[in-house]
Amino acid sequence: MSAAAFACPLVALLSTGGTSRNSTKYSSFHACPLHRCKKNSFKTATRCSLDLDIFQEKERDGILYSLPVSNFSARCRLVIYAKEIPIEIQTPPTGLKSEEYRKVNPFGKVPALWLADNNLTLLESEVINEYLIDKYMHVSPSFIPKTAENRAIARLVSRIHDLYIGPYQYGLYRDVAMTERQSCFDAGRKAMQVLESVVQATPYVAGERISLGDVALFPSLVFWEYLAPRYYGWYPLEKLPKLRGWFHFMKTESAASEKVYKEVMEGLETWEKNGRFEKMGLKQQRVA
């Protein structure tokens, strides 16, 4: 069987002329994802190595396709950083909606995780994180609370986020009618009020260990805390002391959470510098 048969879906495009701005040395049993391999490299082996040495010849276990300003991608990056998993993080080089990237994720969204060992691609952030926690269970932190009750709380926090906060976050930064924006804010406000009664903040949302509940909620609240006061005159956590204390703790909880916080903030600041919000007239809007 040819080496190309094992390649990540975007290899075919990039091996014939496409490139990646963030290319790194990559070594894999199957193929070199998203990069041009050295000439004739597949004639002798199913490995390839690229020119930049950011990873110092380390083998990568796969690639996470991600965007800095993506709360769902950020929760996966947090787990990868915290466990120091050898997974390369890439921006989709051909764009989210391109035909090539849809071969990786048919929905044209991030995150997506391509695994080098078995040429498997996983979609959906919670599925990806559950895989990472299972696969790298031997690496600390475990992201699993000690008790059944706390594990249930962690899942509940993640579920509330995914159903009642994440789907409405677009109201913060997309050009939609004010009535729709208000509806998004009402949904987010209600969910945060419910979470205030659910989270333990001792210091994590479900006890003494970081969990998928913390990972799901933290990147999204960076969006709400940055955008809501600036453009809507609303301070989301002002009257939610447990959530507020937990959020400020998470910002400096570890090098991993600090890195994710910085990535998301830099992405939002770039949007602002590029005039995204001003063009939408957000400075004149307020929410009830």
Sequence-separated (6 or more) residues with CB below 8 Å from residue 139: 83, 84, 85
158 and 43, same domain (yes or no):
no
Q: What is the CATH number of the domain that holds 108?
A: 3.40.30.10
- Co-location of 69 and 159 in the same domain: no
pTM above 0.85, yes or no: no
Do 193 and 95 lie in a common domain?
no
Which tokens sit at 223?
A: 């969006």
Residue 141 lies in a domain: no
Q: Which of 135, 164, 187 is the last residue of a domain?
A: 135
Residues 115 and 220 in one domain: no
Residue 117 sits in which domain range? 3-135
CATH number at residue 233: 1.20.1050.10
Q: Of 135, 165, 191, which residue constitutes the final position of a domain? A: 135
Task: Per-residue pLDDT tens, the chain, 288 aa: give them.
Answer: 444 444 566 644 454 444 333 333 333 344 544 443 333 332 222 233 333 333 344 479 999 999 999 999 999 999 999 999 999 999 999 999 999 999 999 999 999 999 999 989 999 999 999 999 999 999 999 999 999 999 999 999 999 999 999 999 999 999 999 899 999 999 999 999 999 999 999 999 999 999 999 999 999 999 999 999 998 889 999 999 999 999 999 999 999 999 999 999 999 999 999 999 888 777 655 556
Last residue of a domain, one of 135, 164, 179: 135
Q: What is the DSSP string of 198-251?
A: H---SSBTTBSS--HHHHHHHHHHHHHHHHHHHHHS--TTTT-HHHHHHHHHHH
Q: Indicate if 193 and 97 belong to the same structural domain.
A: no
Say yes or no: 160 and 130 in one domain. no
